[in-house]
Structure formats: structure tokens, C-alpha cells
Amino acid sequence: MRNLIAAMWILAAAPAFAQAPAWRPVPATDAVEPSQTIAEAPAEAWQDIPPENLLLIDLASGQRVAIELAPLFAPVHVANIRAFARSGYWHSPAIYRVQDNYVVQWGNGEEEGGQAPPLPQGVVALPPAEYGRPLQGLSPRPLGFPDAYAPLVGHAGGWPLAWDPESGRAWLPHCYGTVGVARDLAPDTGSGAELYAVSGHAPRQLDRNIATVGRVIEGFEHMTANRRGSEALGFIGNRVDRVPIARISMAADLPEGERPAFQSMRTDSASFAAYVKGRANRGGPFFAVQAGGVDVCNAPVPVRRRP
């Protein structure tokens, strides 16, 4: 009877604010603790992150933040970011926005009326709105649990994914650590000179409204632990209060011996399927009840230093 009622909700044309269909989580009894799955994943479950996709933010404090770029989703913006890093465009970069439960943002952070440096050669000044891409070619693995923002969510090519089979569009959702391109009002899409990373509960309302270009894979705590900016939206108005960045570079440009090397878990691997199952059904002596589900931002793709 319950199921029939739920089915009727779906069969009816859904008004915008209708009760969502009930979904009954069913915990799995054979789930393995995610940390164990990660530790035991075989070598073939991991893929190298190309140094060409690895952006390194070296804070003046000596701490490093590593970001994996996602040309799969935003090739023009990613090409711009590489060019900014390589050209010295970021002449005196800093973290100039720290908004609690939202984002950390950095770049040159020119003041209103300030003079931005000329764009490096090859940079596309007005990139297309890479707020998503065709679903075709991604072969995503559905997460298997419902989402409040998209018809379907899951993973593809080592990334979280949200998609709409009807429109054929897919996008990299805003999860903790997701990196996006700051922009002004549409149709401006941002050049990639000013970037942010999500530092709070997933602000999925930004999905399909901004170019998401990557994710922080190491050292994010050096950004998130900074004092929140006191101005509106967490901006840090006073230049001396900003968090200075010594250097932004591509790992590919470092001498091989100095390059950090990372791997991410293949999202089409059996290990990853087991990992997601474990995230949805936490076991061990602490958990009395298993959720039987997990949201796409609470099952981050495992990343490790290359062993």
C-alpha cells in the first residue's frame, strides 16, 4: 500500500513543491568499513592524477594546497588556469574571502577600480558557460540514492556527477572541496583568474550556475581554518589581513623530483562500489543504525599519495 502511494506521487505530474516520493533506505548487511576498502584496494583500482591537472597553491606560511583540475568538465577554463599559473599572471595572490559554511576564494583580488594585469597569451577572456557538459561519453555509475537537486547523481571518470538523462546534460556538483570559477553577473563566466573552493555544506544551488573546474585533494585545512572575513560575504577588505600566497604553479612544471604525485580511486572499480556501499552503511562497533543511503557529496572519491 505504501509503495502504491509512493508510485502515485510519481505518476502524477509533479507540481514544483509537491511531497517528494518516499524512498525507503534498506541497510546492507555485507558492507565493509570504507577505510578498510581503501586500504585493501588493489593497484588497478587507482589511477594517477596527471601533473598537467595538478595545481599547487603554496601559501606564504609554507603550507601547500593541492588541487586536481577537471578538463573533463571545463576545458576552456582549465586551459586558462594553466596559462595564469604559467605566465606569472598571479603577481601577488592571496586568499581574500573566507565565508563561514560557504567558500574560500583567492586570486589577485584586485580592488574596485584597480588595474588587473593584461591577460596572458592564449587566455580566453570570455570563456563559454562551462556549467555542465554533455552526458554522452561519461558512462556514469549511479549512486543509487535520491538527490534533492538532480534527477540522478553518481560518479564518472573519477569525479562526482549529477545529470539529467532527459536533457542529456551532466555537471560536476558543488561538494566540500569543489573548486569553481568566481564570476560576476551572467553572462560573464569568469576567466579563471579568481577561484573559490567550497568550505561548508554543499551549496548545490550553485550547480549549473558556475564553472566547476576541480577539487582540493590535499591541504584544504590550510585554507578553511583561516579567520572568516569580516565584510559582507566573508570578504577581507584590508589587504594586510588577507592570507598571502607565495606561488601558484602547475605540478607538471616542477622538476620531477619535487612533484607531488597523487592517485584517485577509479570510480568504475569494484573497490569504489564497495567504498560507496560502506559509506552508505557504516559498520563497526560505533554505529548502532546504518543509514542505508548516502548523498553524493558525502561519498568523496578517495585520493592518496602515489605509493
Q: Which DSSP string do the residues of 122-184 spell out, in sequence order? A: T--SS----S-EESTT--PEE-SS--SSSSEEEEETTEEEEEETTTTEEE----TTEEEE---
Comparing CB distances to a second copy, the nearer of 83 and 103 is: 103
Q: How far is the CB of 265 from a second copy (least distance, A)?
A: 18
Instruction: Look up residue 199 and give its three cell numbers.
Output: 568550505
Comparing CB distances to a second copy, the nearer of 82 and 204 is: 204
Contacts of 57-63 spanning 24+ positions with Cβ under 8 A: 57/106, 57/219, 57/245, 57/248, 58/245, 58/246, 58/247, 58/248, 58/249, 59/222, 59/243, 59/244, 59/245, 59/246, 60/243, 60/244, 60/245, 60/246, 61/222, 61/243, 63/219, 63/222
Which is nearest to 127 in space by CA: 161, 193, 178, 76? 76
Q: Where are the alpha helices (DSSP H) in 205-260?
A: 221-224
Sign of the CA dihedral with 35 first, then 37, 40, and 44 last: negative
Q: How far is the CB of 246 from a second copy (least distance, A)?
A: 19
Comparing CB distances to a second copy, the nearer of 171 and 262 is: 171
Helix, strand, coil content of the chain in percent (nearest 5): 20, 25, 55
Q: How far is the CB of 108 from a second copy (least distance, A)?
A: 22
Comparing CB distances to a second copy, the nearer of 84 and 176 is: 176
Q: How far is the CB of 205 from a second copy (least distance, A)?
A: 5
The total of other beta-carbon atoms located within 10 Å of residue 33's CB is 16
Q: How far is the CB of 135 from a second copy (least distance, A)?
A: 14
Q: How far is the CB of 89 from a second copy (least distance, A)?
A: 25
Comparing CB distances to a second copy, the nearer of 85 and 274 is: 274
Instruction: Look up residue 48 and give its three cell numbers.
Output: 594517477
Q: How far is the CB of 115 from a second copy (least distance, A)?
A: 25
Comparing CB distances to a second copy, the nearer of 47 and 269 is: 269
Comparing CB distances to a second copy, the nearer of 257 and 285 is: 285
